[in-house]
Amino acid sequence: MTQKLLWLALWLGLATENALSAKPVVFWAPDSVEPGNMVLLYGGGLEATARVVASRLADGATGRPGFPTSPPEPGQACPAIQATDNSLKFQLPDSFYPGLFQATVQNGASVSTPIILNRPELWFMQPAQLKPGLTQNQAPPGALVQIIGKNFLLPHDIGRPRVVLHTADGEWVDLTVTNAERFSLFARLPGELIPGRSDLWIHNGFGGPGGWGGPLTVQIKVPDVWPDREFNVKAFGACGDGVADDTASLRAALAAAGGYGGGVVYLPWGTYRLTNYLVLPERTILRGENRDSTVLQWPVDEPHSPADFSPGAMYGISRWAVEDLTIIVRKVDTLFTGLSANTDLPPELKSLRPKESRDVFFRRVNFQHWLMCSHPDRELALWNVVTNAAGRIVKPSKFDGDGAHILRVNGVENFELSDCLAQGGQIHLRNLVNARETGNLFGNELLRRL
């Protein structure tokens, strides 16, 4: 028995010694760290840490990414605070200057691999305006691109970001930075780039050759080209006077574009009164003169019963865009529906569901769903919520927002909603890939992204 206890004590002693001497590992540290900040590190084997050695990476010439890192400035020992097996804290010396810092955890004779604080990290890239046929981390030559990541600037927005591209033919190209924030940076790609795989790197101006963040592998790719032939709705009989019914004329213009393989259906200044839905063919742009002067308007008189409502005003097959106009509806469930959306469609449109849905762009569009301007006290049977004996809703109120939708888009790759206004209904955007939503104003609605 004594011998067994002796062996057990020896085994426990060796296990404890191995645990104490195990090399500590750090796999996460915070961003935007300033001198004097308390820094939290996550990792493993940190409980026995006595100290953290912190140093500042020397500034100076950055060179090219991959150059040897210059030695850091002299380090300072910082006591470990609240050390556990998976985390610890230390205070970065307030005597340091702002910049990039290196932290090394010391556990007895074992020392962790250094971790760099405040170095840029790149997540993904998009063109500032999405192009047909492209997806995430793809952009055409000459495009203005937005790079999303972190530490492009340091706290208080200090730094001088630099972006370089290691191109498909092995050249190093400096990009022109047009705007930079901590988590976002815009830069212009040269127009003469050769299509192919390239690597992006970013430096925020601190840390010398050790300050490069990356690479983010991107692809320089020429986008698909849609037909640019113009189909002016006035040439198909549209009046745009707000009185005549222009439904047949707009449908004819859209059908002509579809028969041509796509194009631009152009609506000059005017108000186009419509009484039935429109369908956008593939590779077709529906474009007005501008958002304030071209209006598509469906009937806006007050509804009195559910039978007054139609399922939708506009539908899109795949590869389409709507630009520079205002759309007004009142007695429809959904203003605009992509035919890939998982929702009820008119029977005659179900055969048009696309096998692939991509390249959907809304730019500078004013969406107005006027259902919410009605008076619930006038038509109680239409507006009241109906519940059963158990108190469960069996018919929701049209007035609670569930009866008014502006957009239903599902399963689209390469989707943009930019510089748009939307009022009066819900927006349902689901299962989007490489989506871009920027510069929009949503009022009196609910935006759902799933």
Which residues touch 81 (CB under 8 Å, ≥6 apart)? 38, 88, 89, 90, 91
Please give the pLDDT value at position 303: 81
Cα(15)–Cα(6) distance, integer angstroms: 14
Strands 433-438 and 413-418: parallel
- Span of 54-68, 116-130, 359-373, 423-437 with lowest mean pLDDT: 54-68
Q: Say what the pLDDT of residue 109 is.
A: 83
Q: For 397, which DSSP code?
A: -
Interval 184-208: pLDDT, tens:
999 999 999 999 999 999 999 999 9
* DSSP state letter for 408: E
Residue 40 buriedness (CB in 10 A; 0-12 / 13-18 / 19+)? middle
Other beta carbons less than 10 A from residue 330's beta carbon? 24
Q: Give the whole-number percent of the chain exceeding pLDDT 70.
A: 86
Spatial neighbors of 116 by CB under 8 A, at least 6 apart, are 57, 100, 101, 102, 207, 210
Give the chain's domains with CATH numbers: 2-117 (2.60.40.10), 121-220 (2.70.50.70), 230-449 (2.160.20.10)
Mean pLDDT, the chain, whole residue set: 88
Q: pLDDT at position 70, please?
A: 65
The pLDDT tens digits of the residues spanning 315-368 come to 998 999 999 999 999 989 899 988 877 667 787 887 787 778 999 999 999 999
**178 vs 1, which has greater pLDDT?**
178
Question: Confidence band (pLDDT; 50, 70, 90) for 371?
Answer: confident
Distance CA(211)–CA(101), nearest Å, equals 10
pLDDT value of residue 22: 73
Is the pLDDT at 17 greater than 60, yes or no?
A: no
